[in-house]
Amino acid sequence: MTDPITAGIIVVLSKYAIDQGAELIKEVGPTAAKKAGELLKTALVHLRGSAKGEVVADGFEEDPETYEKPLAKEMETAVQADPDFAAQLDKLWAEYQEAAQAYSGGTSYQATVEGGGAVAQGEGATAVGERAVSIGGNVGGPVITGSGNVIHTGTSPGSPVTLPPTLAPLRDKLARYFNRGELKGLCFDMGVAADDLRGETRTELAQSLVAFCHERDRLAELVRRCQAERPRVDWSLS
């Protein structure tokens, strides 16, 4: 069985390889996506040290979805055989997770402004409002310009959301067939920071995961992984 860390890395590498990180940036931000690119480069360079690994590496670059499992197998073997390679991956993976978590959890609330100024918030934020300014870098809180402004703060982007009725069955099946630890493992395999999802109970965590995937067009991936873990359950969304 593929090591859990390697499994999480494979998911991220596949996403990055499909479009060179274009969609991944939307999910985890440019800093984490860049780390994903470094992970991919490090993995492929190492695998090309052997004839079989080179074939898999070349195939993965051309067709990530088809070669995802062969890449996972080769990386698992390489990690077990080379502690230095394993340490490289661990370091880059930790940096990726830290950057992804900072991107998703770096802002504690959303802000809007009334008045003659502007407000900017989040990584690579662009200020909105009258007299807007360009804000570079990672802005965790609001940056306000002008005077006499009223700032309205809303809920955190990570707050629970109401699911469409059609997704309630998927939430209920997740809560029924996976315990809380297994749900967290599912999150890990998908490269999702489970600690950033709201939910004290198993059902609440399941709802947060479904909502997260729904907002990011990742429901098909979630269903595919559930089907692999619990093949006897009907995971169809219809």
**Would you kindly state where each structural domain of the chain is located, as residue ranges?**
4-105, 111-153, 165-229
The pLDDT tens digits of the residues spanning 30-67 come to 898 899 999 999 999 999 999 999 999 999 999 988 89
The region, left, alpha or beta by phi > 0 then psi within -120 to 50, assigned to residue 123 is beta
Residue 133: how many CB atoms within 10 A of its CB?
14
Segment holding 186, helix H or strand E: helix 180-189
**Intervals of the chain under pLDDT 70:** 1-7, 104-162, 238
Q: What is the pLDDT of residue 64?
A: 87
How far is 142 from 118, CA to CA, in rounded Å? 9
Per-residue model confidence (pLDDT) at position 117: 52
Q: What is the pLDDT of residue 161?
A: 53
pLDDT for 76-107, tens place per residue?
899 889 999 988 998 998 888 888 777 755 44
